[in-house]
Amino acid sequence: MRIVVTGGAGFIGTALLRALAATSREVVVLDSLRPDVHRDGGLAASARLSSLGVRLVVADVRDRSAVLAQVEGADAVVHLAAKVGLGVDLDDMDDYVSSNSLGTATVLRACHTAGVERVVQASSMVVYGEGAYECAQHGPVAPAPRTRDRLARGEFDPGCPVCGADLDPALVDEDAVLDPRNTYAATKVAQEQLGAVWARETGGSCTSLRLHNVYGPGMPRDTPYAGVAAIFWSAARRGTAPQVFEDGGQRRDFVHVDDVAAAFVAALQSPEPGHAAYNVGSGVVHTIGELAAELSSLAGGPPPEVTGAYRLGDVRHITASSERAAHGLGWRGAVALRDGLRDLAFS
Ligand code: UD1
């Protein structure tokens, strides 16, 4: 079996290649080694891939002929290549759309031309926007995006859209309405929809894995696109206090990169007709404040500082049910956060 992994030189890709190395599949990586991610020009990533015996083709997913040349004769494509993270400001907007939406369209078109019928792609929990909430009086509600004024007043939790009362965050499942709140999220929704169109038109199978906050060894660090676990760990090991935005009560589900790799392998083994989406999270919810405290303590450094700063594009809580992946893919996260953070810290 021959598998093409786009973006395979990245953080999740590397874990996936390790997982695939245990199987007898031939793997080709197509990766542009973007300079904003691979700051050493891709030297470390190239060395890693060659030690895994994986062929690296340095090309952008928007390069139609390069993509087609690689997917010809492939049995499946795992599409990970993307510009990730919340971004810096709206100056990033066209790069997100081009990298993620046009990139996906180019990959899907090449799969169609080459007759590849199986695609598994990385989507994100950010497609749900603010996620699911319960109002004691009005039941399940979907709050509007938080306004700048509200955030500036330190009112971080969204209120009930009907009565304004405090809400209880609930778990989102895959049937929730998609409601992207930033450019990156909008491109992930588009990516899923393009996958669904492609599957319908070709009769192929496309699975989108809606990844929660992925962490683990090899996380991108010290870039504007780094995830919070890497940012906190970089601060903690420099002996400085992790800077916690808002009041630290934001809720997330941190899923270890090896668990995510296992989810991709499970999805490859479970093709379904049409398009299917699965939440991929550990199933255990933590606050950002708890994450910061755990990493400070692992580094033996100063405790986190809760700053009250905020980013307009951030959602307050985003926590999902990953039960559908357990039933549909036979996958569950296995790494507990405390163990996974040790893994991050001592790698
Ligand atoms: C993350 C991923 C996104 C993925 C999504 C899935 C990154 C950069 N983003 O988004 O690609 O699709 O999970 O759920 O990996 N924070 C601080 N201090 C900081 C930085 C962040 O307190 O220095 C807070 C933020 O305000 C936010 C939380 O940490 O509440 C998480 O931020 P971040 O790691 O950027 O991730 P998400 O926005 O959840």
- pLDDT tens digits, 69-113: 999 999 999 999 999 876 667 888 999 999 999 999 999 999 999
Q: What is the pLDDT of residue 88?
A: 64
Determine the Cα–Cα distance for residues 320 and 128; give it in Å rounded to an integer: 9
Q: Identify the band that residue 37 occupies on the pLDDT scale cut at 50, 70 and 90.
A: confident
Q: Parallel, antiparallel, or unpaired: how do β-strands 168-170 and 132-135 relate?
A: antiparallel
Q: Report how far ligand 1's centroid is from the alpha carbon of 126 (Å).
A: 10
Query: What does pLDDT average to over the chain?
Result: 94
Q: What is the pLDDT of residue 224?
A: 67
Please report the sign of the dihedral spanned by the C-alpha atoms of residue 6, residue 80, residue 85, residue 229: negative
Determine the Cα–Cα distance for residues 195 and 187; give it in Å rounded to an integer: 12
Q: Identify the band that residue 130 occupies on the pLDDT scale cut at 50, 70 and 90.
A: confident
Give residues (CB < 6 A) around ligand 1. Answer: 84-86, 124-126, 211-213, 225-228, 231, 243-246, 250, 252, 288, 311, 314, 318
This prediction's pTM: 0.95
Say whether pLDDT at 222 is over 80. no
Q: Are 215 and 254 in contact, with CB atoms under 8 Å apart?
A: yes
Q: Parallel, antiparallel, or unpaired: how do β-strands 132-135 and 139-141 relate?
A: antiparallel
Cite the beta strand spans of the chain per DSSP E. Answer: 2-6, 26-31, 55-58, 76-79, 118-124, 132-135, 139-141, 168-170, 205-211, 213-215, 243-244, 251-252, 254-256, 274-280, 286-287, 305-306
Specify the length of the chain in residues: 347
Q: How many CB atoms lie within 10 A of CB 48?
A: 17
Q: Report how far ligand 1's centroid is from the alpha carbon of 215 (Å).
A: 11
Backbone angles phi, psi at 27, to 5 degrees: -120, 135
Q: What is the pLDDT of residue 104?
A: 98
Q: Which residue among 171, 228, 310 is best mutated to probe the pocket of ligand 1, counting the most ligand atoms within 8 A of its Cβ?
A: 228
Active site residue 184: yes
* Higher per-residue confidence, 8 vs 91: 8
Q: Identify the band that residue 221 occupies on the pLDDT scale cut at 50, 70 and 90.
A: confident
Please state whether 82 falls in left (phi above 0), alpha (psi between -120 and 50) or beta: beta
Q: What confidence tens digit (pLDDT) does each residue in 280-297 have?
A: 999 999 999 999 999 999
Q: Are 5 and 70 in contact, with CB atoms under 8 Å apart?
A: no
Q: What confidence tens digit (pLDDT) does each residue in 242-283 have?
A: 999 999 999 999 999 999 999 999 999 998 999 999 999 999
Q: Kindly give, in sequence order, each residue whose CB lies less than 8 Å from that of residue 301, ignoring residues fewer than 6 positions away.
A: 235, 236, 237, 238, 239, 240, 241
Span 140-167, average pLDDT: 92
Q: Is 326 exposed, middle or buried (0-12, 13-18, 19+ CB in 10 A)?
A: middle
Q: Which residue among 213, 251, 282, 322 is best mutated to probe the pocket of ligand 1, counting the most ligand atoms within 8 A of its Cβ?
A: 213
Please report the sign of the dihedral spanned by the C-alpha atoms of residue 112, residue 117, residue 118, residue 124: positive
Determine the Cα–Cα distance for residues 225 and 33; give it in Å rounded to an integer: 15
Domains of the chain: 2-131+172-346 (3.40.50.720)
Q: What is the pLDDT of residue 296?
A: 96
Q: Report how far ligand 1's centroid is from the alpha carbon of 336 (Å).
A: 19
First-to-last CA distance in the chain?
32
Determine the Cα–Cα distance for residues 314 and 181; give it in Å rounded to an integer: 8
Question: Could you give the C-alpha distances from 110 to 1, 73, 269, in angstroms and in order?
Answer: 18, 11, 22
Span 150-160, average pLDDT: 94
Q: What is the pLDDT of residue 87?
A: 64
What is the atom index within ligand 1 of the atom nearest the CA of 210? Answer: 6
**Protein residue with its CA nearest to atom 1 in ligand 1:** 213
**Protein residue with its CA nearest to atom 21 in ligand 1:** 228
Question: Could you give the C-alpha distances from 245 to 109, 146, 151, 226, 321, in angstroms and in order?
Answer: 41, 15, 11, 15, 25
